[in-house]
Amino acid sequence: MSKKQILLEELEQEQAIEKEEYKRKLKKYQLEILNQQLVLRERKNSLIIVVEGPDAAGKGGAIKRMGQRLDPRLIRVYSIVKPTRDEFGHHYLWRFWNKLPSHGETAVFDRSWYGRVLVERVEGFCSEAEWKRAYREINEFERLLIEDGAILLKFYLHITKSEQLERFKRREADPYKHWKINDEDWRNRAKWFEHNEAAEDMFEKTSTEDAPWHVIPANYKWFARVSMARIVAKRLKSALDQG
């Protein structure tokens, strides 16, 4: 059966959640993840979480809430930026190998190796042949990780173009958040539809049975945070119960 195509402009964004329900559900899923983290610690499994999405989609906030009650000794969060000169001299997957978690531990990637088929594709930082080849390379890379015991979860948090503009304006006006916005964010916004097309191709070509993409509407931050925590808790329990 063919996979259903995900169209980001058609994503339903009206999933609001009340504050008390948000706090109750988030606490529930945080505890479930913590309990599963203690089980994971004793297994020859690891947990790898990939989070992608447009600028200002709330990736960092969702990651923070998902992991804030976990044992910090067993989790690492990596915020991926453009490669260094040394990293640029290697295959693009090279810089991720030494960030992969040991058995029993967790690594969260705020942006990831999918940059090759997202921003690098759109901005022309790699050739067309390179980003087209990357779908196969990434699928094989993830298959290796899964066969070695990794539990791999992939999230794409999506907001509308109008919501992104409002968040950009709030960041510019807030002296405590001004560092979150720069000229590159505005340049990326100018290619909004090209970035959406790249993401939709990514879903189609790299969503597998063992590592599907979870696309979460993120206009409402509380809904996105609870959704991500719920999926992590459910997937961990399912994987570790079978282990």
- For residue 2, pLDDT beyond 50: no
The DSSP string of 161-228 is: HHHHHHHHHHHHH-TTTGGG--HHHHHHHHTHHHHHHHHHHHHHHH--SSS-EEEEE-SSHHHHHHHH
Q: What is the pLDDT of residue 187?
A: 87
What does the alpha-carbon distance between residue 25 and residue 111 come to, in Å, rounded to a whole number?
A: 26
Of the pLDDT bands very low, low, confident and very high (cuts 50, 70, 90), residue 89 is: very high
Q: What is the pLDDT of residue 243?
A: 56
Architecture of domain 18-238 in this structure? 3-Layer(aba) Sandwich (3.40)
Domain ranges of the chain: 18-238
Of the pLDDT bands very low, low, confident and very high (cuts 50, 70, 90), residue 217 is: very high
Tens-place pLDDT, residues 40-84: 999 999 999 999 999 999 999 999 999 999 999 999 999 999 999
What does the alpha-carbon distance between residue 52 and residue 194 come to, in Å, rounded to a whole number?
A: 15
What does the alpha-carbon distance between residue 104 and residue 44 come to, in Å, rounded to a whole number?
A: 6
Q: What is the pLDDT of residue 1?
A: 35
Of the pLDDT bands very low, low, confident and very high (cuts 50, 70, 90), residue 180 is: confident
Q: With pLDDT > 70 as the criterion, what percentage of the chain qualifies? A: 98
Q: What is the pLDDT of residue 32?
A: 98
Burial of 46-56, coded b for 16+ CB within 10 Å and e otherwise, reads bbbbbbbbbbb
